[in-house]
Amino acid sequence: MLKKIRVWDLPTRLFHWLFAIVITGAFITINLDETELHAKFGYAACILVIFRIVWGFVGPEHARFANFVPTLGQLKAFIKHPVHDKLGHNPLGALSVLGLLLVVLVQTSSGLFTDDEISFQGPLSHFVSSEIASWLTGLHEFNSNLIYALVGLHLLAIFYYQKVKKQDLIRPMLTGDKDLSSEDTNTPTALNPSKDHWGVRGLALVILVVIATGFYFLVIKK
Ligand code: HEM
Ligand code: HEM
């Protein structure tokens, strides 16, 4: 019999797809030389990444860092014997999540201090000397390659699970549910679903609004 278990709460799923959209938007717009629009996608990415970090502490079961960030021992064990008996991210997937969040955090933070020496100055660039702004602009340019690399790796890993391991990770990121009968022999033993009721979703909305408002007044409007 099919048994559906909620693994990704709605806020985490919305975060994921919006994150993918705004990062793609930031890459497209900078390549079209639309720097103002690029910065707007960048602000959205910054708000989302801060939201995801907070959600990693207060969100439900499988969104919490405490429940998926592996110890070194767990990581080594998974590399030797890649079986994952829990519902959420596996130890390697967890590393990729942390990596993606970190590189985007560096990208958006450095973006706020950029100065392209033509027409655009990041909203916080006047708080630092022109040498530091130019160093951070260089960091912004360099770090964008790490985003390309990690996103590429992320997509390859998802494709590998889909095609080679015959595990559909994409559908749960869309619907929220894992279908346990379609799992391979690595059936999760810890069947603790993520809470995803309207109280949880309301909390996420409040957190997002607080972060976005704070960001608008403290960073953009400053
Ligand atoms: C710029 C593009 C993307 C970025 C930056 C990105 C980033 C992320 C992040 C940060 C997570 C962790 C989610 C969380 O715990 O909050 C994640 C998970 C995931 N992403 Fe993406 N993603 C991107 C594109 C995509 C695309 C296009 C797909 C599908 C084809 C995809 C499929 C998934 C899946 C299935 C998971 C869950 C993996 C698991 O079950 O452990 N992502 N992604
Ligand atoms: C996730 C968010 C972001 C991504 C993925 C991103 C990505 C990029 C990329 C790929 C470039 C081109 C680098 C190169 O020329 O090699 C770039 C340049 C630039 N970005 Fe971002 N960026 C983000 C956020 C921001 C933010 C928040 C701002 C400012 C508020 C910003 C301002 C700029 C500026 C001004 C440049 C041009 C720098 C120059 O030509 O000297 N970016 N960004």
So where are the chain's domains? 4-110+168-220
The pLDDT of residue 161 is: 95
| 3-class DSSP assignment, residue 42 | helix
Compute the distance between CA of residue 125 and CA of residue 201 in angstroms, rounded to an integer.
35
Question: Tokens at residue 194, please?
Answer: 């993520």
Atom 39, ligand 2: residue with shortest CA distance: 116
What is the Å distance from ligand 2's center to 153 Cα?
21
The pLDDT of residue 184 is: 44
Please determine, for residue 185, whether its predicted confidence score (pLDDT) is greater than 50: no
The pLDDT of residue 79 is: 96
| Nearest alpha carbon to residue 8 among 70, 53, 55, 51 | 55
Given pLDDT bands bounded at 50, 70 and 90, which one contains residue 179?
confident
Please report where in the chains the tokens 């679903």 appear, as a residue: 193
The pLDDT of residue 83 is: 87
Please determine, for residue 178, whether its predicted confidence score (pLDDT) is greater than 80: yes
Compute the distance between CA of residue 30 and CA of residue 77 in angstroms, rounded to an integer.
41
Which residues on neighbouring strands pair with residue 190, listed in sequence order?
86
What is the Å distance from ligand 1's center to 145 Cα?
18
Mean of per-residue pLDDT scores for the chain? 94
> pLDDT exceeding 90 applies to what percent of the chain?
87
Please determine, for residue 189, whether its predicted confidence score (pLDDT) is greater than 60: no
Q: How many CB atoms lie within 10 A of CB 125?
A: 21
With vertex at residue 91, the alpha carbon angle to CA 87 and CA 93, rounded to the nearest 5 degrees, is 80
Lowest mean pLDDT among 27-41, 79-93, 148-162: 79-93
pLDDT tens digits, 82-110: 988 788 999 999 999 999 999 999 999 99
What is the Å distance from ligand 1's center to 134 Cα?
32
DSSP of 111-124, one letter per residue?
HTT-B-SSS-B-TT
Compute the distance between CA of residue 44 and CA of residue 8 in angstroms, rounded to an integer.
21
The pLDDT of residue 187 is: 53
The pLDDT of residue 117 is: 85
What is the total residue count of the chain?
Answer: 222
